[in-house]
């Protein structure tokens, strides 16, 4: 059985969910899905843009002549800070009225699973703001390449995707010296890619990556537990962090989209909360440079540390900073940087700990240094079955030299007929 041959998996009830969040009747929704890929129809116009570097959410509202009060100043602090998480280059869409004079809806992704939705209420004719889940289609894809120079250069040259190159190299977690790669060495990548409104979206997830160097295959596999392992079942280690509050209880986990039980709205929890007594020392999770140390709204007392490899850690709700901690100071892994508190929007003493890469939040528990457990019994048997399944796929694509399939271009401007 060969799984990675562009099979498509959709989330359940896609039409019903999209109808609810985009406020479209069923016929209009049907037109939207079917005609998204066409270019010659008339009606309401959806235009896609890419978020410009250093562009702020407020500047966007001003440029589009959208009201600042209901869409920013009247928002709670959490939603205001949410608008600062829009990252450079993200594709966003604007739906305009038939005459193009009025903006009816805006969709701006924040994470791989959460987006800002601005819409004009039909009854009040007032603009409203909400955070809603992103509905996407996941495709399982694969390709074979012969190395031109480095693996990263080859992937970008042949596929045009920097994300694929980054995902391939990251899967090895620097466990392999790519300097030993030679021209005409071979590689295969099996990965999952999300698609939103017809275009690839978010970082691809490398399920298995194989790099053949001078005839010897080096392969890593994404296991059921979310970690990468080599052929022998040893976990591939990379950028390592220490827990910032050793021995503390985790009171809340990382979630890209979570429906808040009190606020009754969708919010991302971009970190891990460590519950501990007020005044408990907080340690730097890794070597790096402090780029921020001060008060930051609902974060309370906040420290940001920049690390190598485009990583950044954040430590929020702190009672106070350790003496001498300031912006520009370099710290080592394990150094005390402050103390647990409950400043900002917090219901009790804890540390809110975030990890970001290239500005995007990722789950800290996936890279925090923990005691590596060897796989025994059922988990090991399950991994070996998964490994054999991926190896079968890799051999298939090696044999057939599966080319990367470039997706058809989707016009920046799409049209769908508006039902009166």
Residue 207: give its domain's CATH number.
Answer: 3.10.450.350
Is the sign of the CA dihedral 62, 360, 265, 91 positive or negative?
Answer: positive
**The domain spanning residue 266 has which CATH number?**
2.70.70.10
Confidence of residue 180 (pLDDT cuts 50, 70, 90): confident
Confidence of residue 3 (pLDDT cuts 50, 70, 90): low
Q: What's this model's pTM, rounded to 2 decimal places? A: 0.62
- Domain count of the chain? 3
For the segment 109-133, the average pLDDT, to the nearest whole number, is 90
Confidence of residue 30 (pLDDT cuts 50, 70, 90): very low
User: What pLDDT does 387 receive?
Assistant: 97
- Cα–Cα–Cα angle for 193, 196, 202, rounded to 5 degrees: 45
Between the CA atoms of 376, 379, 384 and 385, what dihedral angle is there, to the nearest 10 degrees? Answer: 150
Indicate the residue among 349, 366, 383 that finishes a domain: 366
Confidence of residue 286 (pLDDT cuts 50, 70, 90): confident
Residues 198 and 346 in one domain: no
pLDDT digits (tens, 9 = 90+) for 345-372: 888 999 999 999 888 888 888 776 544 4
For the segment 123-150, the average pLDDT, to the nearest whole number, is 92
Residues 229 and 306 in one domain: no
**Element at 270 (helix H, strand E):** none
- According to DSSP, residue 406 is labeled P
Confidence of residue 122 (pLDDT cuts 50, 70, 90): confident
Range in 4-8, 180-184, 376-380 with the lowest mean pLDDT: 4-8
Yes or no: say if 274 and 249 are a contact pair by the CB < 8 Å rule: yes
Is 292 part of a structural domain of the chain? yes
Residue 415 has pLDDT above 70, yes or no: no
Q: How far apart are the first and last CA of the chain?
A: 48
Three-state DSSP string of 44-104: EEEEEEECCCCCCHHHHHHHCCCCHHHHHHCCCHHHHHHHHHCCCCCEEEEEECCCCCCEE
State the number of CA atoms in the 13 A half-sphere of 118 facing the CB.
26
Residues 201 and 296 in one domain: no
Residues 184 and 103 in one domain: no
Domain of 378 in residue numbering reads as: 138-237+373-400
What share of the chain has pLDDT > 90, as a percent? Answer: 52
Residue 98 CA: distances (Å) to CA of 30, 65, 103, 118, 271: 19, 18, 10, 18, 42
C-alpha 207/C-alpha 212 separation (Å) is 17
For the segment 300-317, the average pLDDT, to the nearest whole number, is 92
C-alpha 32/C-alpha 29 separation (Å) is 5
Is 26 part of a structural domain of the chain? no
Residue 206: which of 166, 149, 242 has the closest Cα?
Answer: 166
Yes or no: say if 367 and 239 are a contact pair by the CB < 8 Å rule: yes
Residues 62 and 160 in one domain: no
C-alpha 145/C-alpha 168 separation (Å) is 12
C-alpha 238/C-alpha 286 separation (Å) is 13
Residues 231 and 313 in one domain: no
Residues 354 and 259 in one domain: yes
Yes or no: say if 168 and 150 are a contact pair by the CB < 8 Å rule: no
Range in 83-87, 121-125, 196-200, 202-206 with the lowest mean pLDDT: 196-200
Residues 231 and 380 in one domain: yes
For the segment 65-92, the average pLDDT, to the nearest whole number, is 90
Is 22 part of a structural domain of the chain? no
Is 347 part of a structural domain of the chain? yes
Q: Where are the beta strands (DSSP E) in 236-367?
A: 249-252, 255-259, 266-269, 271-275, 281-283, 288-295, 301-306, 311-321, 330-331, 336-340, 350-357, 360-362
Cα 364 to chain centroid, rounded: 13
Indicate the residue among 135, 166, 195 that finishes a domain: 135
Residues 233 and 322 in one domain: no
Residues 333 and 378 in one domain: no
Indicate the residue among 116, 135, 154 that finishes a domain: 135
User: What pLDDT does 406 receive?
Assistant: 81
């Amino acid at each position: 059985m060969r799984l990675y041959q562009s099979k498509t998996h959709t989330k359940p009830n896609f039409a019903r969910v999209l109808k609810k969040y985009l406020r479209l009747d069923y016929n209009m929704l049907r037109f939207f899905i079917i005609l998204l890929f066409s270019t010659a129809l008339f009606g309401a116009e959806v235009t896609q843009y890419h978020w410009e570097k250093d562009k702020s959410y407020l500047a966007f509202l001003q440029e589009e002549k959208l009201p600042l009060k209901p869409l920013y100043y009247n928002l709670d602090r959490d939603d205001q800070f949410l608008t600062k998480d829009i990252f450079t280059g993200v594709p966003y869409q604007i739906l305009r009225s038939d005459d193009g004079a009025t903006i009816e809806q805006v969709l701006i992704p924040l994470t791989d699973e959460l987006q800002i939705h601005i819409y004009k209420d039909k009854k009040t004719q007032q603009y409203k703001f909400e955070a809603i889940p992103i509905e996407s289609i996941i495709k399982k894809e694969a390709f074979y390449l012969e190395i031109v120079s480095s693996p990263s250069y080859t992937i970008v040259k042949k596929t045009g995707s920097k994300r694929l190159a980054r995902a391939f190299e990251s899967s090895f977690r620097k466990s392999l010296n790519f300097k030993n790669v030679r021209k005409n060495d071979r590689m295969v990548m099996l990965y999952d890619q999300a698609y939103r409104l017809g275009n690839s979206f978010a970082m691809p997830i490398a399920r298995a990556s194989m790099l053949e160097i001078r005839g010897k295959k080096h392969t890593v596999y994404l296991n059921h537990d979310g970690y990468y392992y080599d052929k022998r079942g040893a976990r591939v280690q990379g950028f390592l962090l220490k827990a910032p509050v050793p021995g503390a209880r985790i009171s809340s986990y990382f979630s890209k989209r979570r429906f808040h039980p009190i606020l009754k709205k969708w919010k991302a929890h971009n970190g891990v909360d460590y519950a501990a007594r007020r005044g408990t020392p907080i340690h730097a999770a890794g070597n790096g440079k402090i780029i921020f140390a001060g008060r930051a709204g609902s974060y309370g007392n906040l420290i940001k540390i920049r690390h190598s490899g485009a990583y950044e850690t954040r430590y929020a709700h702190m009672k106070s900073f350790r003496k001498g901690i300031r912006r520009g100071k370099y710290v080592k892994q394990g150094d005390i940087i402050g103390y647990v508190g409950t400043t900002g929007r917090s219901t009790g003493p804890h540390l809110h700990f975030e990890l970001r890469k290239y500005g995007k939040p990722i789950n800290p528990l996936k890279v925090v240094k923990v005691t590596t457990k060897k796989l025994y019994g059922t988990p090991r048997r399950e991994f070996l079955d998964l490994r054999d399944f991926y190896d079968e796929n890799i051999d298939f694509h090696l044999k057939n030299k599966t080319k990367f399939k470039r997706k058809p271009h989707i016009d920046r401007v799409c049209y769908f007929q508006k039902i009166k």
